[in-house]
Amino acid sequence: MSERSKWLVDTEWLEAHLDSPDVIVVDGTWYMPNENRDAEAEYHAEHIPGAIYFDMDAIADLTSDLPHMLPTSEEFADGVQKLGISNGQRIIIYDRMGLRSSPRIWWTFRTMGVSDVFILDGGLPKWIAEGRPLTDNPTPKKQGSFVARLDHSAVCDHADMLRAIHDDGIEVVDARSNGRWRGIDPEPRPNLASGRMPGSKNVPFTDLLDENARLKDVDALRQRFVDAGVDLSKKIITTCGSGATAAVLTLVLDTIGHHNLGLYDGSWTEWASREDSPVERD
């Protein structure tokens, strides 16, 4: 485990345990729509030996018009056991950006009742920089056995957020860039106006990472929330553009000892597309 967080594992530890039958490695890379990159193709070109690819837009609520919304527990169990994941395994997730989409998949597994799920500290960039093994060999598919138990309290919907913005006991914290939150920079999704939920605070997820896309130390993480005016004694609901990088904030808040948490699954993509959502801009 890493000294940065109990939810991080070191690259050295993972390399030593790649052949452990109870360890399963997951490539959870995801890119924004405007990045024009294919995460699955990049996985097939090179990945950590034995890793499987988790497509968070495929193991999702496919009836929703919103991206990668949380599926039902049955849909999630069906999807992950087809990847070969079973209850009782230790799941290690990484992404190609260091720390961006992997926390969303970590949060999803946690929300589905899995406690033994971790994130590779430094992600694939650190793994590559250290000269650790990569392969383009396909990982053999096998059927897993998985039962999911959805923790409904961890997930917030639009109605929850309409109440939350008027609740003095709740802080809403947005992981998007400051310009998008202020409404002065465009959103990456076409035809979606930028801005913020009334009363929300802004902690861009990139502010929580060092130059190598690794978490900063615990004191610096806590101070960043304090500097943003976040009252850490209150319940905190994290949000972002589509519910992905909000999970970076959730990971960090858990790391600094704050456990009264929710995540707005639809996030700004849902909020800004609904006429009944109040919006503030500078």
The 3-state secondary structure of the chain reads: CECCECCEECHHHHHHCCCCCCEEEEECCCCCHHHCCCHHHHHHHCECCCCEECCCCCCCCCCCCCCCCCCCHHHHHHHHHHCCCCCCCEEEEECCCCCCCHHHHHHHHHHCCCCCEEEECCHHHHHHHCCCCCECCCCCCCCCCCCCCCCHHHEECHHHHHHHCCCCCEEEEECCCHHHHHCCCCCCCCCCCCCECCCCEECCHHHHECCCCCECCHHHHHHHHHHCCCCCCCEEEEECCCCCCHHHHHHHHHHCCCCCEEEECCHHHHHCCCCCCCCECC
Question: Among this protein's residues, is 240 annotated catalytic?
Answer: yes
Question: Which of these is catalytic: 236, 240, 252, 272?
Answer: 240
Residues tagged active-site: 240
